[in-house]
Amino acid sequence: MAQMAPDVVTTFPGFEAWYLAEHPKVLATLVFVSGNADVAREATDEAFARALARWSRLREMESPGGWLYTVALNLVKRHAKRSAAERQALGTADVPLIWTDRTTELWSVVQSLPPRQRAAVVLRYLLDMKEREIADVMQISPGTVASTLASARLRLAGWLVDDHEEAR
């Protein structure tokens, strides 16, 4: 990741440090959520570009990171909707997600969760966000976050039980 240009540092105080601290986390989150490193990089860069354009107001927010994750996740969702519409218009089959770095088998199973569950799991267990923060980022109620995480855990537990029985 490249350093910020000198004029960005002086014109937007605090942005460089925030960018350097948040960029790797946002990118990793979006890779897990989207399953596609290129989409994740594009959404991360666009979210930070939007943050830079609003930095004077954003730096005063209680949670500029929450704003950033909301924007980034919305960009990923928009890309997924566009891609699905393009595939439907072209009459092509659903293309499997590209997974560039399967660090563990569990994360490959997380990838197969429905998008809302996958996003909630990544925000909760990768970024260690609380349910209230996840609700703000995903723009859903805290109750919906709780039920989404519970459903995701049930699916993952089912996979773990099935996997454990196969190993016997």
The domains found in the chain, sorted by start residue, are 1-100 (1.10.1740.10), 102-168 (1.10.10.10)
How many alpha carbons lie under 13 Å from residue 15 in its C-beta half-sphere?
Answer: 23
* Residue 108 three-state SS: helix
Mean pLDDT of the chain: 80
- 44 to each of 3, 72, 75, 123, how far by Cα in Å? 16, 6, 9, 15
Distances (CA, A) of 164 to 37, 102, 150: 30, 20, 21
Q: Do 4 and 48 form a contact (C-beta atoms < 8 A)?
A: no
Tokens of 165: 């029985």
CA distance 74 to 71: 5
Q: Which two tokens stand for residue 6?
A: 């000198």
pLDDT beyond 70 at 158:
yes
CA 32 to chain CA centroid, nearest Å: 6
Query: What's residue 87's pLDDT?
Result: 58
Identify the pLDDT of residue 101.
44
Q: What is the pLDDT of residue 86?
A: 58
Q: Among 40-49, 76-85, 117-126, 134-143, whose mean pLDDT is lowest?
A: 76-85
Tokens of 58: 């954003």
Planar angle of CA 84, 78, 38, nearest 5 degrees: 85
CB count in 10 Å sphere of residue 12 = 19
Q: What is the mean pLDDT of residues 155-168?
A: 65
Quick one: pLDDT at residue 102?
40
Q: What is the pLDDT of residue 10?
A: 54
Nearest to 26 by CA among 5, 4, 46: 46
pLDDT at 69: 92
In this predicted structure, the answer to whether residue 125 has a pLDDT above a threshold of 80 is yes
